[in-house]
Amino acid sequence: MELAAERNGRINIWMEELKSHLFDRLSTVTFTGFTTKEHLSYEEALKQEFYPMPQGTPWGTKWEYGWFLTEIVMPKEAEGKRIFLHPEVGGEMLLWVNGTAAGSRDLKHDGITLTRHAKAGERFFVVAESYAGHGPRLEKGGPCPDFRTAVPEPPEFQVKVGESDYGIWNEDAFQLLMDVFTLYKLSEGLDPKSLRAMKINQGLLEFTFTADFELDRERRNESFRESRKRLAPLLACVNGTTAPEFTIFGQSHLDLAWLWPWEETKRKCARTLSTQIALSDEYEDYKFLLCEPPIMENVKEHYPELYERLLKKVEEGSFIPEGGMYVEPDTNLVSGESLIRQCLYGRKWFREELGKDSVMVWLPDCFGFNGQLPQIMKGCGIRYFATQKMARALKGCDGFPYNNFWWEGIDGTRILTHFYKKNNARLDPLDLITRWEEDRVQQENIDTFMFPFGFGDGGGGATREMAEVAKRVKDLEGAPRTRMESPVNFFQRLEEENSVKEVYKGELYLPWHRGTYTSQARIKKENRLIERKLREAELLNSIACVVENGENRREELEALWKVLLFNQFHDIIPGTSITRVYEDALAALKVTGEKADSLYDEAKSQIARSKENGLLVFNSLSWEREELAEIPVKEGEPLIRSGRLPVSQRIGDKLLIPVKVPSCGYTQLGSEGGGTFESSVISGNECRIYEENGFVILENGFVKVVVDGLGQVRSVLEQDTRTEFVDGIANQLLLYQDINVDYDAWEMSSFYKNVPVELDQMADLTIEETGPLKAVLMVKRKIHQSFMTQRISLSYNSRRVDFATIIDWKETHKLLKVSFPVTIRTEEALEEIQFGYVKRPTHQNRRYDADRFEVCNHRYTAMTEPGRTAALLNDSKYGISTDGNAMELTLLKAPVWPDMYADKGIQEFTYSFYVKSSDFADSGVVREGMQLNSPLTFWGKGTGKKEYFRILADNVILETVKMAEDGETHLILRFYEAIGKHTSCAVTAGFRISQLWETTMEEIAVTKTPLPVKCLGNESEILLNFAPFEIKTLRLIL
């Protein structure tokens, strides 16, 4: 009777020894090469001068690439053999063999097969492009004292040329190793007392008696083959009738930018796909998931030969083009329209370029999923959703209850969903068993699981070892059965069986990575700005094209949208990438904004053709607005002198003019019903600011605001009802130490409040503007090591107090919040998400409540009770917590990993406090949040007044006006219901409509007959019915 420990030790020694018999060197290889920071094509590189680069040659400054070449001639010993090349020139590399991209040398692939059947005298011309790197790639946490450089610069040379060689790959040894490895990992997952485990252990021990490493090569290989025969019966054993079944397929989750820039990802794409194509060439049953159009677009542009081979793999069915979206975006931070465009342009690309209809959204690594995503996916033709991030939430948090379920969004739309456990996974029997026995959270009504395998983040994908294991675990007794197939097949079987009964309603909140709502504030602000610019450019271009016979710029706008969509990737906009990623992203978005402005101006000139002496102001939102417009002093003074603008206020080089602007339209300042305001119009609502009893008071006809010597708000009193909305101190800045255990930029720990940082109790207050249209108080204050200038303002016709803030942020590992406690009792806050809101707790009664101590909002968070509502609005902030009766908006974070410069420097943003004695539905919060983010726009000279769209319901929003995707000169309008209320409303268009169709978000008609339209003169009226939080898309034909 052998001892188990001795037996296992012997098996492990034999397995390790077997690995040293996989490769018999034939010769070393020397390379010539050169270095560059340019992105050269293969053909361009070969035109350069190559220099000798012997073993030991150092190279690789920061961001540098090396090109290397050599020629290998097969000796007679190689005849008929599989030949493997170990290229050790330093770094990760793509290799071409005789002009064809043949595979990669990366962190998980140590070389390539030159040929599977060598011929003596055969020549191989090998070229490699290798990346040296850019220094350490850090995603850690912990303290970072000021004497330590968080992300040190790399040395002058990061790599050196090593010893490269090629030789005979011993296929007998390799196949035996795969047999032994598969059985050994299976035995680790079995009950050690089971008969199956006993038989396997006995067989593995016999392998150590049969495989004799001390024989000569020929007899040693014969012992390997004999060992395989002895193990074959164990690998032939199959499961009974009740074994679970897994869908398996290869993948390589490839971050478009993260710890490396997009320029390096472009090469990673080619490395990964060339490796996976080579794997597919050898293993006919192997399936590989192909996601994210920018990856393929890049390969098509820079590696056309590789792209043609990729197309062939798609045609054969070996590569599975899926994913549903243009990139794998963050779904918390971006707008609802952005998510629609992700699906719209993603599916369009798959359909037009690859001829495939993508029906699954694949988001393996995103940080939670908003509650409108099911409606967006279904509206765009998506039927299935898969992710793994929710299954890997922070330990100790509330566990998600299902793997297979129907996810129901806030509007009631359901999408069939699967949560698998891990994305960048190895494949072996123990992993399969572990998935089922330990990682599966659903304990009833489940018999199948999804198991993607292959290395990712930095690319690479599956290895040959994984493909070999896959052959052996199709039906291996003791492990779940497997099917190598598309994940879509997995979902289709669930549908056919009608077995999924479980339903989960609402958002999929990830209790992890909460710092992503705040890190890298500039990219978040720029994203929201460009979303607005594209919306407005699209609105004007569509009106100009269809109504005013202007130019159709749909294709140009689509190109700009794609730049924005790319930079919504889940490691860019959340703030978790290296410095260069944000330099590149901000530069790209700046150009995108400038191009959007140019298209906006072109359309404006086509709409407002008159250049007479009038002045125009434009309102992009879908309701009439009476508020302040800013115009240049030199433009407004002539109107003031003429008496056409009797009420105004000068602030610097701007004039503030009260103006009433029609919905989705423009008006002429000084015209009847537009900008003509007599003094009596604002009488009683004019702003005042004054000092009283050591406080500064700002007030108008709606509210009275009391500010103390630190710029904190002690009172916001509604004038007509005498209702006090502040409970204690509002606009209170709170600073905390923010040192996380790991994932520095990602995280915000649950105990951040345990380490508050005391702030100076001094500030300088200056009254800047005294009204009558706007009162402004300037506050200057030091916030720890940072300096803040804040302008607190109140306008004549507003219940909204604005806090326009500039901070020179100089902190490290600090978190800045601002608190607004209110006199409202509620257990839930209403927090805006895409196309609506969700309710979240203001308490921590249960684990799931406590997990949501920091959440993501868009333009508002509101607390409400019957007859009373208060809201905290913002123009670029997302992270917020609600603690009892306090709304605490997260303003800035200061991580050092992976970007030690994150958020340092000048930060500008505005948040606002809004109050009204009414229920939330009648409070106007939704509109106020949008108005803060979309100010009225001065158009310059022109005359006239025009309203293009008007909606007779406060809770229905016109989100999008665009040109039809099919190239027809048709208008596409997208509306949504904003407060969760069944609504019928009339919509008026300022032009005649000949036909009106309701469509999907992909602009496909949903009925066989058009909707009724009532035309009255030059206007058209339509009646629309909305369910709560419904998104509705219409096609208008003039």
Q: What is the CATH number of the domain that holds 964?
A: 2.60.40
Which CATH number belongs to the domain containing residue 588 in this structure? 1.20.1270.50
Q: pLDDT tens, 928-939?
A: 999 999 999 999
Structure confidence by residue, pLDDT tens digits, 34-85: 999 999 999 999 999 999 999 999 999 999 999 999 999 999 999 999 999 9
Note whether residue 472 is domain-resident. Answer: yes
Contacts (Cβ under 8 Å, ≥6 apart) of 92:
104, 105, 106, 107, 130, 131, 268, 271
pLDDT category, 991, cuts 50, 70, 90? very high
CA separation, residue 321 to residues 102, 270, 340, 345, 356 (Å)? 21, 16, 19, 14, 7
Domain at 894, CATH number: 2.70.98.30
Instruction: Look at residue 222 and tell me if it is in a domain.
Output: no
Q: Give a yes or no: residue 221 inside a domain.
A: no
Q: Tell me which of 169, 194, 218 is where a domain ends.
A: 169
* DSSP code at position 77: G
- Does 467 share its domain with 338? yes
Q: Tokens 């090569």 belong to which residue? A: 217
398 lies in the same domain as 465: yes
Instruction: Give the model confidence (pLDDT) of 555-575 as tens digits.
Output: 999 999 999 999 999 999 999
- At residue 671, the pLDDT reads 66
Q: Degrees (nearest 5) of the Cα angle 541, 545, 548? A: 110
> How confident is the model over 745-761, as pLDDT tens digits?
999 999 999 999 999 88
Mean pLDDT of 571-590: 98
For the cut 90, the answer to whether the pLDDT of residue 692 exceeds it is yes
Strands of the sheet with 732-737, listed across from one edge: 756-757, 732-737, 814-821, 886-893, 879-883, 855-856
Same domain, 277 and 377: yes
Q: 318 and 467: one domain?
A: yes
Decide if pLDDT at 673 tops 70: no
Q: What is the pLDDT of residue 638?
A: 84
Domain limits at 620?
616-683+937-941
14 falls in which pLDDT band (50, 70, 90)?
A: very high
Give yes or no: residues 953 and 1027 share one domain: yes
Mean pLDDT, residues 678-694 taken together: 80
- How confident is the model at residue 617, as a pLDDT? 96
Give the chain's mean pLDDT: 96
pLDDT at 305 (0 to 100):
97
pLDDT at position 640 is 81
Pair (98, 31) in one structural domain: yes
Q: What is the pLDDT of residues 507-533, one digit of tens each?
A: 999 999 999 999 999 999 999 999 999
Q: What is the pLDDT of residue 988?
A: 97
Residue 676 has pLDDT above 60, yes or no: no
Could you tell me if residue 980 is inside a domain? yes
- Among the candidates 110, 135, 169, a domain finishes at 169
Q: Cβ distance 251 to 290 under 8 Å? A: no
Span 748-775, average pLDDT: 96
Respond yes or no on whether the N-terminal peptide bond of residue 658 is cis (omega within 30° of 0): no
pLDDT tens, 426-467? Answer: 999 999 999 999 999 999 999 999 999 999 999 999 999 999
Same domain, 786 and 894: yes
The residue from 146, 169, 192 where one domain ends is 169
pLDDT of residue 672: 58
Residue 211 resides in a domain: no
The span from the CA of 842 to the CA of 758, in Å, is 25
In DSSP terms, 103 is beta-bridged to 95
**Same domain flag for 792 and 899:** yes
Structural domain tally of the chain?
A: 6
Do both 674 and 742 map to the same domain?
Answer: no
User: 819, 740, 257: which is closest to 513 by C-alpha?
Assistant: 740
Q: Check whether residue 385 and residue 442 sit in a common domain.
A: yes
Residue type, 588: A
Confidence at residue 3, expressed as pLDDT on a 0 to 100 scale? 80
Q: What pLDDT is attached to residue 636?
A: 85
Residues 6 or more apart whose Cβ sits within 8 Å of residue 496: none
The residues, any chain, with a CB within 8 Å of residue 1's CB and separated by 6 or more, are none
Overall pTM surpassing 0.95 (yes/no)? yes
**Residue 989 pLDDT:** 97
Looking at the domain assignment, is residue 805 inside a domain? yes
Report pLDDT for 393: 84
Is residue 18 domain-resident?
Answer: no
Categorize the per-residue pLDDT at 967 as very low, low, confident or very high, splitting at 50, 70 and 90: very high
- 395 confidence band (pLDDT: 50, 70, 90): confident
pLDDT digits (tens, 9 = 90+) for 309-356: 999 999 999 999 999 999 999 999 999 999 999 999 999 999 999 999
**Residue 179 falls inside a structural domain:** no
The predicted pLDDT at position 2 comes to 64
CATH of the domain at 353: 3.20.110.10
pLDDT band, very low/low/confident/very high, at 677 (cuts 50, 70, 90): low
Q: Is 35 exposed, middle or buried (0-12, 13-18, 19+ CB in 10 A)?
A: middle
Q: Which residues pair with 987 in a beta bridge?
A: 951, 1022
What's 156's domain CATH number? 2.60.120.260
**Distance, CA of 677 to CA of 673 (rounded, Å):** 9
For residue 241, count other CB atoms closer than 10 A to its CB. Answer: 4
Q: Are 257 and 150 part of one and the same domain?
A: no
Q: Do 779 and 853 have their domain in common?
A: yes
pLDDT of res. 872: 99
